[in-house]
Each structure stands twice: as structure tokens, then as C-alpha cells.
Structure 1
Amino acid sequence: MSSDEGPQTRWVQDWQRSEVLDALRRLLSTSGRVGPAMARRAELTHTELSALEHVMEEPLGPTELAQRLGVTSAAASGIVDRLVARGHVERQPHPTDRRRTAVVCTAGGREELMGHLMPMFVGLAALDASLTEEERTVVLRFLTEADRAVGRLL
């Protein structure tokens, strides 16, 4: 071991691998590749897909969308224009402030995205249904704590 290795490097080198942690690492790696693959299939950019996911959750003003995407307002406007042209979103008057607009996901946009996600949802639902209540409790505890551990990086 070289003298320039600190305690973090030594800790990682001494880490005791387990099948569970290896499976979690593979899941995280696979999850990171899903967005770009879905964007390609849907013929969207990764940022357009991300915008569509955000407005599926809730209507957003263009400025809010820009902040969530980490882009300028002008860039967000271009993204929204492209999604509108594809019929995935529409601009509507803001529900509480008529001076503003809200970007809203259309039924067609939702169906397109959900169509790409359905194989995953079906597989995960079948897996969940195969678990006993005791197994589900352990898996839930593990996933909740794993999410907290990974979330510390954000």
C-alpha cells in the first residue's frame, strides 16, 4: 500500500464484499443506464425525458422546470417547445396565477412513457407478489436504508 493512501481508500480496499452489496451495486448501475436507454427508445433527449417525468408528477411553471433540470429558462423553453411539438406536454394557464403558464403532461405523453416502463413495472409487481410479508418487511427496511445511504451523496 502506498503512503499516499488515506483512511477512506484503505477502508474501501478492506471492504468485505457480499452478494447483497454486489447485487445492489449492479442494480444502481443498471438504474443509471435506464434513463438514457428510455430516452433513445422514445426518441427524446435525456433532458427532454427528465422534463417529461417531472411534469408527469405535477404541472410546473417553466422557471420551476428549468430549476429542476438545472438549465437556463431559455433552454427549458426550447425543451418544452419540442415536447409540445411531439404532443407530450402542453402549456396551460397556471391554476392559481393566470399571469403564468404551467407545463402539463398530456395523456399521450403519459402513455408513451408508461409504455416504455411497463415491462419493468410488471416484473417488479410479480417479484413483490412472490414475497412473504416477512420477506417484504426485510426488503423494505434494506431498501429504505440503502436509499438513505445513497441519498447522502446528493
Structure 2
Amino acid sequence: MHPSGESEGYWYPARRDGQPSGVDVLNALRDYRASETAMRRRTRDSMAMGETDLLALRYLLEAETAGVQVRPKELATRLGMTSASMTALVDRMVASGYITREPHPSDRRAIILRPTPGADEEVRHTLGRMHQRMLEIANSLTPEDARAVVGFLLRMREAVDTIDAG
């Protein structure tokens, strides 16, 4: 059922017997994605960042946690950006205090990008409660339900990753 209480058909006819269907799952997934997009917009607004800046910061925070050093070129590749656009993004994020440029430990000509401790704290403050609520919900699943959800989402990702661009 759609939140409106009516069974909508996405692009396909909905079941009329009241049982949840694949269409209901796709509607719920679409609604979740819309809520997540709105949450990211609110997060960007509260942190005064653009979408790409927030994605870059998230990637740098993940790399920092994993002990991986990230050069601007690697970040540009990850985000699908040109070198000039990456330079502007890095300049903007350094000026706003979210990341630092540091000399590469073994290559004098290179730099690495690192998130500032303040950036990590701000992201945790901004998203911490929401992540905690999401984790509580995910942890409430039975192991069987968790396997089903993970399997479904992996198959959905594969389906959208194989859509032809042309």
C-alpha cells in the first residue's frame, strides 16, 4: 500500500486482493529514496555543502577510518570529476574547514586529502541520531528477514547497474 492508503501500480497494475506485491515493494523503495534524498538535502543545507562536497567528505571519512590515503586524482575519479573541478572542490572544502591538504609521506610532489576532526564531529552530530534510529530498525530484523532484505537490495543494485545508458 502507498502511504496515501491506496494501492498504486507504480507502472504496473497493483494486486487487488490486498496482499503485498512487488509493486508495493517498489512503491515503498521509491518512497524511502525520496525521504533519503530529502534528508541529504537537509544535511547539506545544515552543513552549507553541495551534494558533491558531501559525497567527497563521506568518501574521505570512510578512507580515513580504513587507513587509506586519498590523492585528489583518486577522489576525482571516484566522483567522476575533472581535475579543474576537483581543484575547486578541494579549495572550497579546505576554506570551509572540512578537509586538509597534507604532503604525501613518500612522494614529495603529491598531496593527500584528509578530513578534519571537526568535519567528522559535525557529520556525527548532524547524522548520528538518524543513523542510530536506522541501525535500531535494521537490528530489529530477524536473521532471515535481514538475509532477504540484503539479497533483495543487492539484486536491485545489480538490476539498475546493468541498465544501458543508450
Instruction: Give the shorter-chain TM-score range.
Output: 0.7 to 0.9
Structure 2 counterparts to residues 98-137 of structure 1, below 5 A: 98-137=108-147
Tell me which residue corresponds to 1:8: none
Show structure 2 runs of 5+ residues with no match.
1-9, 15-21, 64-68
Determine whether 1:143 maps to 2:148: no
CA distance in 1, matches of 2:84, 2:12: 48
Counting helix residues as a fraction of each chain, which structure ranks higher? 1
CA distance in 2, matches of 1:149, 1:73: 31
Tell me which residue corresponds to 1:65: 75
Asked whether the 8 Å contact 2:12–2:23 carries over to 1, the reply is no
Structure 2 counterparts to residues 3-152 of structure 1, below 5 A: 13-14=11-12, 16=14, 18-58=23-63, 59-152=69-162
Per-residue Cα deviation, 1:93-146 (whole angstroms, up to 9, x for no partner): 224423200111111111112222212211111112222222222222222222
CA distance in 1, matches of 2:84, 2:44: 21
- Report the residue type matching 1:45 in the other structure: G
Number of aligned positions between the proteins: 143
More deviation, 91-100/118-127? 91-100
Distance of aligned partners of 1:69 and 1:133 in 2 relative to their CA distance in 1, 3 Å threshold:
closer
Q: Post-superposition shift, 1:15?
A: 5.2
CA distance in 1, matches of 2:131, 2:115: 20
- Report the residue type matching 2:33 in the other structure: L
CA distance in 2, matches of 1:96, 1:33: 42
Per-residue Cα deviation, 1:34-60 (whole angstroms, up to 9, x for no partner): 433321110112222122122222242
Show structure 1 runs of 5+ residues with no match.
1-11
Q: Post-superposition shift, 1:13?
A: 4.9
